[in-house]
Structure formats: structure tokens, C-alpha cells
Amino acid sequence: MLISLALLLLCADDYALGPDHQEQAGVPKGQVEAFTWKDSKVYPGTERQCWIYLPANLDAAREYPVIVFQDGGGVVNAKGQFRGPIVLDNLIHKGEIPPMLGLFINPGNVAPATPGAKGRSTRSYEYDTPDGLYAKFLIDEMLPELAKHARISPKPEDRAVVGISSGGICAFSAAWFRPDAFRKVITGIGSFTNIRGGVWFPAAVRKTERKPLRVFLQEGEKDLDNVHGNWPLANHDLVAALAFAGYDHKAVFGTDGHGGKHLGAILPDALRWLWRKDEALPEPVAETKGDLALSGLLLPGRDWEMVVEDGKFVDAPCSDAEGNFYYSDLGAGTGLHKIAPDGTRSVFHAKAVGISGMKFGPDGRLYACHNREKRVIAIDAKGDVEVLLTDIGCNDLVVSRQGLVYVTETGKKQVVLIEKAGKSRVVDVGINAPNGLALSPDGGTLAVSDYAGAAAWAFRVEADGALGGRMPVFPYRDFGPTVEGRGDGMACDTTGRWYVSSQTGIQVFDPNGRPIGLVLAPGAAAVTSCALSGKDLGWLYALSQGRIWRRPVNARGFVAAK
């Protein structure tokens, strides 16, 4: 019995190619066509060899799923470790995967301009950089070439990206940054190390709202350990992050080193798993006491819903204590609008045009940055306006329980305190581009976002309204190899979580400024401002250009002046 078990383990480690890798009698063969691509605008000056796979019995009227292989020359080889076209032929014939189109793409090279000079491979730049550039290359340049031969399914869940080593992290990166285009991933011996910042991915997975991806991951325990990192540890870290965040994933760890032998042997199983019928997603790990996580904020199955789609440029969101949501349409010039908790929309003040920020004060009035007129005003229930301060390039504001008004003056890089009508003083200077503001539930901390910096700032509110304890405690999210700035409108909930609007969504921080994660933007455009309002003040609102979305969350807002 022990001898038999040893033999089985030995055979498993050989990673021999199975019947699905062999040409089978009676199985129709797909067509493989090679082409050279020299016209890249995404990677200018490069040239590369590519292959297109068209399944047998191609139907010109049918829309087909697509699978893209990086380092395609090795995968398309009929005598190699993968034998991609043969595997596709066999699995399609057996009905284990749907008929699909294939792209096999080699990395680019910049050919030398002079005789005797060496060319330059762009493989590492294309594959190892954790950003959306390679996905753009696929979407803008490669898929249109494929579309000349057959119709491509527009559904992102019908598109897979596959690669090994640097090609493995490339496959994951393409789907991660463009889940609107690719949602299936196979990554083998993926270089989730620090070649060009890819070590960032496990942390990003843990601190980002779950994306609709399906990931098959293979790794060998004898993989590389070098100056860039330890490949097995990096892949284990990513798998743990996928499990923590509740992703649909499967991980297979073998005993091989840095090569494609293992993934090549299990490629048919990986494809079958990737195209299996949908199953219920695993639950993300619940947050523990004192350790906040997005899983404690976001409600399963409750995504963004649009409540305003016909604005021009919406801004200045705020709520009253009853959950009525207010906003300004700066682009349309239609004044201030109100959305009741039941969704009923009305015009709150048609003549208050050009408002860029507003909050309710302790006296029940609506305090506003009348940016167009360069003044700060207060509007009472009758619609009467009192001018509090003039000649100020105001952006946003917040009002304390004591009726103190803090205003960001972005152009002058300063925060201004208005104590009463006509009386003001500068309380901070030097933030690159002070923008949104929010107060903590107890009113003791003021947070100010920086649209041109790397963090939002926290201040202690002194007894006389001055600001102390100045620190950039809310670091903006790393976004691949860069830091995502442009912190915009802010909010805070009763737990003390802070919300900062940004390019890719709403960045969330715990009461002490530790990044909890990113709530993904509801659309392609940046989220410019946010607020908690609606029923029980338990809905998170996101404003983006002319549209407003909302979603219920496990949080509750508050009116700082109450």
C-alpha cells in the first residue's frame, strides 16, 4: 500500500500530458492563423508575433467567448507543454467548454534601429507593471484584430486571460483593472512579487470591494526565491487574500519549480473549472472586533442603484437628520435639489445657483459655498439668504455644533474659519489643494482632503475653533505602481469611519486613519463627492459628473452640527 501511494505521488509530480493534449480521432480541428503586429499605439515601436484560433464549424452569426494566452508562442505550439489549440479542440468537442476564439500573443520587442545593435524586450514592462495598460492593449488593439475573423461576445464573463510567470500576473492584472472586459483568469507561477510593484496585489484584494472575477491559480513550492521576492510565499499570500475577500477561486500548489510543466498538464482541468456553471460565491471573512473591514460595511448583493441620471455636474451632497438628501447641479444651473428617503425628488431652492458645498447648521439653516459668487451663505427654511463672507474662493464646508463654519479655499491652499457673519480667520495654510471636509462624531477631529497630495489631513479642533495636531493620517490608496491622489468630497459615519471620494471610488479609513479599503466607483468616471443619507441615514451616496448613485450600507451618517 505504501509502495503504491509513493508511485502515485511520483506520477503526479511528473505532470505528464494527458489524452486532452493529444489529437483525437473524430475531433474537428480549429484553424490557427499567425500574424505580426507592428502598429501598436499602446506600446509604440514594438513588434510581436500573434496567433488566432478559430474553432471548427465557425458560425459567422454567433458571438463567441474569447481566451487570451500571454507568451502565446509557447502555448500554441502543438508539441509544447500546453498545446493550447489541441486542448481547446478536445474540450469543445466534448462539450466541456463552449466553442471559443483564442488569441495567442507574444510580448513585444523594440527592434534595433542600426545594424549590430541589440533589440529590447518589453515583456517585463508589459507584463509585470500592475496597471491597466496591457488590458487597454488587448481591448483597443488585439480584440479588434480578432473581431475581423469572428464575432466576439461582449460579455466580460465570456472572456478569459491566461499566463505564466510574468504572464500570470499580467493575466490577473488585465482582469483586475478591467473587469468590464475580462472576468476569468488562469495564472501559473505568477510573479506577484516586487519586480515592478506586483507585490501590491494581495493587499489590494483585501482592501477593495470584491470584483466579479473567477481565478484559477497554480504555483510550485520549489519556485523562485530571488531579489524580487519569494514566488511561493507571494502566491500563498494572494490565495489567502482571495479567500479573505470571498472570491470565486481555486488554487493548486505542486512541487515543481519555475516552469510551465505543471500548469500545462492541468490546463484542461483549469479550463473546465473556469467555464463551469456559476456557483454561489464564498463569504468574505467577517471583520473582527476592533479590526474594521469592507465586509463589515458593504451588504451582500446590494450594489449601486442610480437615483439621478439627468444632471450636468452634481456636487455639494448633504443630509438633514431625517435622511433627506440635498445636492447642487452646478452644470445645469438649476439650483438645489432634494431627494426624500422614499426617492421623491423636488427642487429645494431654484435660485441658489453655483453651490459647490453645503451642510446644515445647528440653527436648521443650510450653509453653502456659493462658489460662483465667491461667498459663503446661509439659507433658512423660507429660502432667505444671509451672506456670511464675501470675496472667498470657497470649495466645500462643514459646520460644527457650535455653529463654526470651516471652509476650504483651494486656490489659496488654506482652510478658513467663519465664526459669525463677517468674522473669519485662516486656520491652516499649506495643503496642496484642500478640498472636502468632514467632522468626527464628537466634533473633536476635522479631516480635510487634498486633491493634489498623497493623503487627507486630520486636525484637532481646539476649544476656540483653531486647528492643531496637523497630520496627513489618511494615506491615499496605492493604485498599482502609483498613489491615487485627487481626494475630493468627504464624509464620516457614527462609527468614526472616514470616506474620501476619489478617481476609482470611495476610499474608506478607520477612526485612526488606517485604510480599510476601496468601495468601487459605480461608473467609469471619478467619484467627486459622497454622503450618508436616506432612510436612517444608512445609504451611501456617490456623485459622479451628472449622476448620483446610492447603496445601503452597514453604517449610519449624522449631521455634524446636531
Please calculate the CA angle 356-358-362 and round it to the nearest 5 degrees: 165
Q: What is the CATH number of the domain that holds 404?
A: 2.120.10.30
Taking residues 182-196, what's their average pLDDT?
98
Identify whether residues 314 and 403 lie together within a single domain.
yes
Banded model confidence at residue 331, pLDDT cuts 50, 70, 90: confident
- pLDDT reported for residue 281: 87
Q: Which domain holds residue 313?
A: 294-552
Distances 305 to 136, 211, 301, 372, 382 between C-alpha atoms, Å: 27, 17, 12, 30, 32
Please state, rounded to an integer, the average pLDDT across all residues of the chain: 94
Query: Quick one: residue 519, left, alpha or beta (phi over 0 = left, psi -120 to 50 = alpha)?
Result: beta
The residue out of 241, 274, 307 marking a domain boundary is 274
- Give domain status of residue 286, yes or no: no
Distance between CA atoms of residues 85 and 54, nearest Å: 9
Give φ, ψ of 512 to 5 degrees.
-95, 5
The 10s digit of each residue's pLDDT in 28-71 is: 999 999 999 999 999 999 999 999 999 999 999 999 999 999 99
Taking residues 117-140, what's their average pLDDT?
96
- pLDDT reported for residue 289: 67
Identify whether residues 331 and 413 lie together within a single domain.
yes
- Is residue 213 within 8 Å of 183, Cβ to Cβ? yes
- Is residue 338 within 8 Å of 324, Cβ to Cβ? yes
Residue 10 has pLDDT above 70, yes or no: no
The residue out of 245, 274, 303 marking a domain boundary is 274
H-run or E-run covering 204: helix 201-206
Identify whether residues 225 and 331 lie together within a single domain.
no
- Give domain status of residue 279, yes or no: no
Taking residues 372-386, what's their average pLDDT?
95
- pLDDT reported for residue 180: 96
Banded model confidence at residue 1, pLDDT cuts 50, 70, 90: very low
- Give domain status of residue 288, yes or no: no
- pLDDT reported for residue 297: 96
Beginning with the edge strand found earlier in the chain, give each strand of the sheet holding 455-461 in spatial order. 434-439, 445-450, 455-461, 467-475
Identify whether residues 246 and 310 lie together within a single domain.
no
Other CB atoms within a 10 A radius of the CB of residue 306 amount to: 11
Identify whether residues 221 and 365 lie together within a single domain.
no
536 DSSP assignment: G
Banded model confidence at residue 398, pLDDT cuts 50, 70, 90: very high
Identify whether residues 326 and 230 lie together within a single domain.
no
The residue out of 274, 302, 318 marking a domain boundary is 274
Taking residues 338-343, what's their average pLDDT?
95
- pLDDT reported for residue 468: 97
Secondary structure string (H, E, C) spanning 68-86: EEECHHHHHCCCCCCCHHH
Q: Which residues, in sequence order, are bridge partners of residue 226?
A: 229
The 10s digit of each residue's pLDDT in 228-269 is: 999 999 999 999 999 999 999 999 999 999 999 999 999 999
- pLDDT reported for residue 558: 98
Distance between CA atoms of residues 271 and 34, nearest Å: 23
Taking residues 364-393, what's their average pLDDT?
96
- pLDDT reported for residue 2: 37
- Amino acid letter, residue 362: P
- Is residue 148 within 8 Å of 203, Cβ to Cβ? no
Q: What is the CATH number of the domain that holds 260?
A: 3.40.50.1820
138 DSSP assignment: I
Long-range (24+ apart) CB contacts under 8 A made by 301-306 are 302/551, 302/552, 303/551, 304/522, 304/542, 304/549, 304/550, 304/551, 305/549, 305/550, 305/551, 306/522, 306/547, 306/548, 306/549
- Give domain status of residue 493, yes or no: yes
Strand stretches in 5-131, DSSP E: 31-37, 46-54, 63-64, 66-70, 101-105, 109-110, 120-121
- Amino acid letter, residue 298: L
Residue 346 has pLDDT above 90, yes or no: yes
Residue 480 has pLDDT above 90, yes or no: no
Residues 6+ apart with CB under 8 A from 503: 479, 484, 486, 521, 526, 527
The 10s digit of each residue's pLDDT in 428-477 is: 999 999 999 999 999 999 999 999 999 999 999 999 999 999 999 999 98
Residue 178 has pLDDT above 70, yes or no: yes
Report the greatest alpha carbon distance in the chain.
91
- pLDDT reported for residue 253: 97
Identify whether residues 298 and 205 lie together within a single domain.
no
Residues 6+ apart with CB under 8 A from 213: 175, 176, 179, 183, 184, 185, 247, 248
- Give domain status of residue 8, yes or no: no
- Is residue 544 within 8 Å of 506, Cβ to Cβ? no
Residues 6+ apart with CB under 8 A from 219: 188, 189, 190, 231, 232, 235, 236, 251, 252, 253, 254
Identify whether residues 318 and 269 lie together within a single domain.
no
Identify whether residues 247 and 300 lie together within a single domain.
no
- Give domain status of residue 307, yes or no: yes
CA nearest neighbour of 450 among 460, 435, 471, 440: 435
Residue 353 has pLDDT above 90, yes or no: yes
- pLDDT reported for residue 11: 43
Identify whether residues 234 and 309 lie together within a single domain.
no
H helix runs in 504-561, sequence order:
none
- pLDDT reported for residue 144: 98
Considering only residues 485 and 548, tell me which one the structure prediction assigns the higher pLDDT: 548
- pLDDT reported for residue 110: 97
Identify whether residues 253 and 302 lie together within a single domain.
no
Residue 3 has pLDDT above 70, yes or no: no
- Give domain status of residue 1, yes or no: no
Residue 305 has pLDDT above 90, yes or no: yes
- pLDDT reported for residue 477: 84
Grid cell 497630495 — which residue? Answer: 453
- Give domain status of residue 310, yes or no: yes
Residue 156 has pLDDT above 50, yes or no: yes
The 10s digit of each residue's pLDDT in 307-323 is: 999 999 999 999 999 99
Grid cell 459669525 — which residue? Answer: 420
Other CB atoms within a 10 A radius of the CB of residue 453 amount to: 19
Distance between CA atoms of residues 63 and 89, nearest Å: 18
Taking residues 490-519, what's their average pLDDT?
96
Q: Is residue 315 helix, strand or coil? A: strand
Report the domain count for the chain.
2
% of the chain surpassing 90 pLDDT: 91
Identify whether residues 378 and 456 lie together within a single domain.
yes
Grid cell 454561489 — which residue? Answer: 280
